[in-house]
Structure 1
Amino acid sequence: MHDRPSTGGTMTAAEPAHVDAAENRRRWQALGVGLVAAFMTLLDVSIVNVAVPSIDRALHASPSDLQWVLSGYALTFGLVLVPAGRFGDARGRRNAFVFGIALFTLTSALAGLATSPQWLVVARLLQGAAAGVVNPQVTGVIQQLFRGPERARPFGLLGATIGISTAVGPLLGGMLIAIGGEEHGWRWVFFVNVPVGIVAVILGWRLLPGRPAGASRHRFDPVGVLLLGVGVVLVLLPLVQEQQWRTPWKWALIPAGLAVLAAFGLWERRYARRGEPLFDLRLFTFRSYTLGSLIALIYFGGFTAIFFIFTLYLQNGLGYSPLVAGLAITPFALGSAAASALGGRIVNRFGRPLVAIGLLAVVVGLVATVIALHLAPHAPAPWVTAGPLLIAGIGSGLVIAPNQTLTLAQVPVPQSGSGAGMLQTGQRIGTAAGIAAVGSLFFSSLADSRGNWTTAFEHSLLLATGIIALALVAAMVDILRSRNHAEH
């Protein structure tokens, strides 16, 4: 692997170019539209968590239905990321973006109008697929409109969007339910996307770049699409259905999925000899891309699981309302927002050590959260955890945005959509695996401790912290290797 892009061939990243004032204003406006769309689609990963009790009462949904409402979105989201990214690379990001946002807006309305659990599940599956179409286009737009070091700031803003949308979802969900009422407030969790989506469609068509002149007109790789889709589904299904499928045979799907993904890699290498592959495996020759993707996969395994178990702990265990449960996570979101903006500006100066510092801060903040709850078991949990979660949020802001900047810095523009899609697919797999593992420990600890919610939360939070510590180890190994290479 190497750290610098090659100077020849198709794998060369574009160099910075002069941009006049009007064009500069237009590209920042295009970025703004993309960030709003990314926020909206990523928000729906977590915002529905606090609405589950209301959905249960309104639609009389079974536990399996509720699980599919939550996890079906993530499943189809991860399924279409790479093909959608490749489509945007080849046919223009504007077409893919507008189609994805239009579909997301329509399916959000359908979800809000649901009169049965089955209706809601189908709407969520389609909504997740639409989100998977949109997100690679946002990263691709940054790669296309910004060059070299100037990408740090827009990637910092995107990282802030990712971190804030995940953390603030329960708060916005709680507010909407409080405004709309316990019976119908959950519908506004979906309806709120509709006006925003309509505006995003209009502005996206006006501002995003169309198909570039001379873009390839090759046919898509149907075998690659099939192999990747089957592999991702086989890996994700037992993870998202971990609580519903009690049979141990479900875990056999994961090695089967990995085998299919290995076949996908072999096929893509063969296909690349005669055409444009769905995903260019040569991206993994860049150490920045490979290591950044690994860190993202591991970090999201611990990061997103925190909000899942914290919401359960506060609402079901301690009896707080959805609004208070959302407010309790706000310190993390605020810290993440502030640090993401800073991290995007300084990542080019500090590089991977900045990510390591962020990971260390997250680990320290989460361990401090466990200690605070243990030392003050009778104090209000939202107040006790506010300070430690603020530290963890600041650390998270120094992880997501800088790591994304470093990971995609060397990805050439013609592969930016599929490269970002593969990065986000890893994040979705990490998210599903982390929630399955941490959630499983949470429920087993709850049973073993005879309903002690604080003990269950502490044990599962320590597991999430351990997962994040693995990402810190990966970052430290890379830093040490880089220093040894520089010395020799």
Structure 2
Amino acid sequence: MTTTATTDPPLEGAADRRRWLALAVVMTASFMDLVDVTIVNIAMPSIKKDIGASFSVLQWITEGYALAFAAGLITGGRLGDIYGRRRVFLLGMSGFTLASMLCGIAGDPHLLVAARVLQGGAAALMVPQVLAIVHATFPAHERGKVFGMFGAIVGLGAVSGPILGALLTQWNLFGLEWRPIFLVNLPVGIAGLILGRKYISESRAPQALKLDLVGVVLATGGLLMFLYPLTQGREHGWPLWGHLCMAGSVLVFAAFVAYERHKTRKDGSPLVELSLFKVKSFAAGIGVEVAFGIACGIFFMIWTLYMQLGLGWSPLRAGLTGIPFSIGVSVAAGISVQKLVPRFGRKVLQAGAVSMMAGVVLYIWESRHFGNGIQPWQMALPLIVMGVGMGLIVAPLTETVIARVPLEHSGSASGLINTTQQLGNAVGLGLVSVAFFDVLDEQAVAQHHAGQAFADAFRHGMWWVAAVLAVVLALMFALPRKAAAGTAAPEDAPAEPVQEPAQEPVAAH
């Protein structure tokens, strides 16, 4: 998506104070979005118990958000370019705050899913504007410091989300059970709207691409045709209509590709720039993004259910158990970008995939060895190993994937990477039906043997995670050996010195 600013460089004095306040607003919005993803997972068992949500509904509570967020990301960015980043950002924050309230007061599981879909769509309007507003508000020499702050916000969101979710659920404030995990967004969102209207300056792209609503409908329709029967099929005994629907999704995706080619010829503003896939490393990188998202989608869902429904741990105990994982991610991410990737290139990402697989296998062994008596401190080692592996992947992945993409397409490539990350996560959550729930012995659960049943299903799901990570590792061999974002050299051409533009980080979700 385009991030070209039309505003003049910020002035000194009062204007300088205004832009830092504007930065505080957009960073708060980013933090709110990041926390809202991780905060929900830890509350899943409480939601199931309180409003009688089925396992498939639990999947849709997170899957619906991810799907709506992914489907609207690129379009949200273009709306900001056309109608104004400040206007669309405030619209997205308003929708996100309203949807958070609806989530917090939902008394029916299906209404909660609908509110989460609305929340994901609102986030798709809000999040793409954040970096564009920064780009329009701060001069180039200050953006490095600003993007460093965003990195800290991402790390803080990853660490604090599960803990905050655990505390809010455990405290049962005012007898509201899990609902404060959503309602906490209300005062933050309202304050952000008031301050954002006052301090964020408006900006637009001088030559924004047109909207591709047909492309959005086709892509979203194809994904729903695949994910809905995948998620609901187990509860209905895997009916014929589900298999036909998933097969039909292939035809819809084919129609999407055909329309995108037509859109490219017609006005040069397709939803997806298909020419990017002619770059072998980018095509493989998109495969890495999707597969990695699938692995994460499966792991985080089954991990939470295993600890709380299987082992009977409280939300707080489960949330604190994840601290070693978050620390591993944060530490490894910083080291990988600053020290390792400049020297070793894609080998760092491959080492991350191997480390994650090793952590998964170690976790499977520990779960079997210690049984239902396993303690949080015994989980620390596999979680640290997995966290380090994830940190080695997530921080440098985007720059590595777009290393050989032509500079004029770097914005589109970054937007597509963000989208595919979320799509992979949504697909992974859908696959939980097959990887976990399909092998969960519900009869054993009904006979008060939930611990063993959930442990067996957890280990089965973790083997799925290991298998998907093996695919991630294989695809990484097609990435450039050394990431040099902005070079745009052909894959087989000798590298030439170039002037690299300032790159802005892609906000991970």
Aligned partner of 1:234 in structure 2 is: 225
- CA shift, 1:322, in A, is 1.0
Residues 313-462 of structure 1 aligned to structure 2 (within 5 Å): 313-346=306-339, 349-350=342-343, 351-377=345-371, 379-408=373-402, 410=405, 416=411, 419-447=413-441, 451-462=452-463
Q: Which runs of 5+ in 2 are unaligned?
A: 445-451, 484-490, 496-509
Tell me, in whole angstroms, the C-alpha distance in 2 between the residues paired with 1:258 and 1:297.
17
Identify if the C-alpha distance between structure 1 residues 292 and 414 changes in structure 2 by more than 3 Å, giving closer, same or farther. closer
Residues 176-191 of structure 1 aligned to structure 2 (within 5 Å): 176-181=168-173, 183-191=175-183
Specify the SS of the correspondent of 1:376. helix
Deviations 1:68-119, CA, capped at 9 Å, x for gaps: 4343323322322222122234334333222111110111112212344444
- CA shift, 1:323, in A, is 0.9
Aligned partner of 2:190 in structure 1 is: 198
Aligned partner of 1:88 in structure 2 is: 80
Tell me, in whole angstroms, the C-alpha distance in 2 between the residues paired with 1:398 and 1:296.
14
Contact 1:78 1:429 in 2 (8 A): yes
Aligned partner of 1:474 in structure 2 is: 475
Aligned partner of 1:282 in structure 2 is: 275
Amino acid at match of 2:393: V
Identify if the C-alpha distance between structure 1 residues 286 and 143 changes in structure 2 by more than 3 Å, giving closer, same or farther. farther
Cα root mean square deviation, aligned: 4.0
Aligned partner of 1:172 in structure 2 is: 164
Contact 1:89 1:415 in 2 (8 A): no
Contact 1:136 1:420 in 2 (8 A): no
Using the size of structure 2 for normalisation, the TM-score is 0.79
- CA shift, 1:389, in A, is 0.6
Specify the SS of the correspondent of 1:274. helix
Does structure 1 residue 69 correspond to structure 2 residue 61?
yes
Residues 227-306 of structure 1 aligned to structure 2 (within 5 Å): 227-249=218-240, 250-275=242-267, 276-306=269-299
- CA shift, 1:169, in A, is 3.8
Tell me, in whole angstroms, the C-alpha distance in 2 between the residues paired with 1:487 and 1:126.
48
Amino acid at match of 1:376: F
- CA shift, 1:429, in A, is 2.5
Amino acid at match of 1:305: I
Tell me, in whole angstroms, the C-alpha distance in 2 between the residues paired with 1:125 and 1:13.
30
Specify the SS of the correspondent of 2:218. helix
Identify the range of structure 1 (267-276 vs 312-321) with the bigger mean alpha-carbon deviation: 267-276
Contact 1:91 1:215 in 2 (8 A): no
Identify the range of structure 1 (224-233 vs 458-467) with the bigger mean alpha-carbon deviation: 224-233
Deviations 1:200-246, CA, capped at 9 Å, x for gaps: 33454566563336334x65333323323322322332344354443
- CA shift, 1:298, in A, is 0.5
Tell me, in whole angstroms, the C-alpha distance in 2 between the residues paired with 1:49 and 1:487.
47
- CA shift, 1:474, in A, is 0.9
Using the size of structure 1 for normalisation, the TM-score is 0.82
Higher RCO (CA 8 Å, separation ≥ 6 residues): 1
Amino acid at match of 1:342: I
Tell me, in whole angstroms, the C-alpha distance in 1 between the residues paired with 2:482 and 2:205.
41
Tell me, in whole angstroms, the C-alpha distance in 2 between the residues paired with 1:42 and 1:434.
18
Tell me, in whole angstroms, the C-alpha distance in 2 between the residues paired with 1:171 and 1:297.
27
Residues 43-122 of structure 1 aligned to structure 2 (within 5 Å): 43-61=35-53, 65-122=57-114
Deviations 1:405-432, CA, capped at 9 Å, x for gaps: 333565757873x544432332223223
- CA shift, 1:51, in A, is 2.5
Specify the SS of the correspondent of 2:270. coil
Contact 1:228 1:264 in 2 (8 A): yes
Identify if the C-alpha distance between structure 1 residues 393 and 146 changes in structure 2 by more than 3 Å, giving closer, same or farther. farther
Deviations 1:330-349, CA, capped at 9 Å, x for gaps: 21111112222333434762
Tell me, in whole angstroms, the C-alpha distance in 2 between the residues paired with 1:458 and 1:210.
51
Tell me, in whole angstroms, the C-alpha distance in 2 between the residues paired with 1:79 and 1:57.
30
- Report runs of 4+ in structure 1 exceeding 6 Å deviation: 10-14, 18-29, 142-157
Contact 1:73 1:128 in 2 (8 A): yes
Q: Would you say how many aligned residue pairs link Structure 1 and Structure 2?
A: 475
Tell me, in whole angstroms, the C-alpha distance in 1 between the residues paired with 2:232 and 2:152.
30
Tell me, in whole angstroms, the C-alpha distance in 2 between the residues paired with 1:385 and 1:99.
42
Tell me, in whole angstroms, the C-alpha distance in 2 between the residues paired with 1:378 and 1:395.
26
Specify the SS of the correspondent of 1:478. coil
